[in-house]
């Protein structure tokens, strides 16, 4: 007697698509690492620290605050010109907290290297907020996410920063030049909203099927599968491996239930 087997029902198909969407959403936030966020934060903090030193120099021209750059150790600190090797206290922090920054801290991927151009080790502003030197200063921050150059104008004292074309750091302050849309959403990673939208549509399709609206469920499922396919095809290796394992286990369980 011939044994008949049937294909998967729409409900089972929707469950598999739902698992794919959940797996993709869960993995995406960690796929790009901490390097872009760390670079963005460090460049923004450096610009703010330079502007603080500038403001303090204007307010206290008799003993201005200088920025002491230690490029060899990828660090810098703020100090009074009268005692440049002793960091001042960081405002708003616990008493005794030195105003010092070590950019090399953190994971190897996120750690930042610091180089300085146009200056020795001391960045000093005059009573008008301008650099006390004729040439501009460029401080360059680099990690695996890219590079950001922080510029200080000698004539005006203006502080600005620009990320290079390959940088993944999304700079939000108006002194920065933000990466293009392609850099903010690299081609090898799906945009999370696409997957999130597919997840919502999948839930709606399952609800429609349960309530008896088969035509509505089929219509929603068609768009959902297409959306998830676009996202998953362009995902990272990590997402593909995770999703493949999850789907294999799910399908295996469904097949086991049909025996």
- Does a structural domain hold residue 145? yes
| Three-state secondary-structure class, residue 69 | strand
Asked if residue 74 has pLDDT above 60, the reply is: yes
44 vs 249 pLDDT, higher one: 44
Total domains in the fold of the chain: 2
- Expressed as residue numbers, the domain containing 58 is 35-184
Contact 169, 141 (CB under 8 A): no
Asked if residue 196 has pLDDT above 50, the reply is: yes
Residues 63-67 have a mean pLDDT of 97
- Does a structural domain hold residue 5? no
Residues 140-152 have a mean pLDDT of 94
CA-to-CA separations, 161 to 45, 91, 124, 144, 175, in angstroms, rounded: 11, 24, 18, 18, 6
Contact 49, 31 (CB under 8 A): no
Claim to verify: residue 61 and residue 165 sit in the same structural domain: yes
pLDDT computed for residue 203 by the predictor: 59
Claim to verify: residue 167 and residue 70 sit in the same structural domain: yes
pTM: 0.55
Asked if residue 211 has pLDDT above 80, the reply is: no
pLDDT computed for residue 137 by the predictor: 96
Contact 51, 153 (CB under 8 A): no
Claim to verify: residue 179 and residue 215 sit in the same structural domain: no
Claim to verify: residue 99 and residue 144 sit in the same structural domain: yes
- Does a structural domain hold residue 4? no
CATH (domain of 44): 3.55.40.10
Claim to verify: residue 120 and residue 28 sit in the same structural domain: no
Q: What mean pLDDT is reported for the chain?
A: 75
């Amino acid at each position: 007697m011939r044994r008949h087997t049937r294909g998967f029902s729409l409900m089972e198909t929707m469950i598999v698509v739902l698992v794919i969407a959940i797996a993709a959403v869960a993995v995406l936030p960690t796929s790009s690492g901490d390097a872009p966020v760390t670079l963005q934060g460090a460049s923004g903090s450096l610009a703010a620290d330079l502007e603080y030193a500038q403001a303090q120099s204007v307010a206290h021209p008799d003993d201005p605050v200088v920025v002491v750059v230690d490029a060899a150790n990828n660090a810098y600190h703020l100090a009074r010109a009268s005692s440049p090797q002793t960091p001042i206290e960081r405002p708003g922090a616990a008493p005794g907290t030195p105003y010092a920054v070590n950019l090399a801290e953190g994971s190897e991927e996120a750690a930042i290297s610091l180089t300085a151009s146009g200056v020795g080790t001391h960045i000093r502003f005059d009573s008008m907020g301008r650099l006390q030197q004729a040439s501009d200063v460029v401080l360059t921050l680099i990690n695996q996410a890219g590079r950001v150059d922080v510029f200080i104008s000698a004539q005006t004292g203006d502080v600005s920063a620009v990320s290079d074309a390959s940088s993944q750091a999304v700079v939000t302050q108006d002194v920065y030049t933000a990466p293009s849309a392609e850099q903010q959403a690299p081609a090898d990673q799906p945009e999370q909203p696409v997957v999130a939208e597919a997840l919502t549509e999948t839930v709606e399709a399952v609800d429609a099927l349960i309530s008896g609206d088969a035509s509505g469920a089929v219509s929603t499922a068609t768009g959902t599968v297409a959306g998830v396919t676009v996202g998953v095809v362009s995902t990272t290796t990590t997402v593909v491996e995770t999703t493949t394992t999850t789907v294999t286990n799910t399908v295996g369980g469904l097949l086991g239930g049909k025996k």
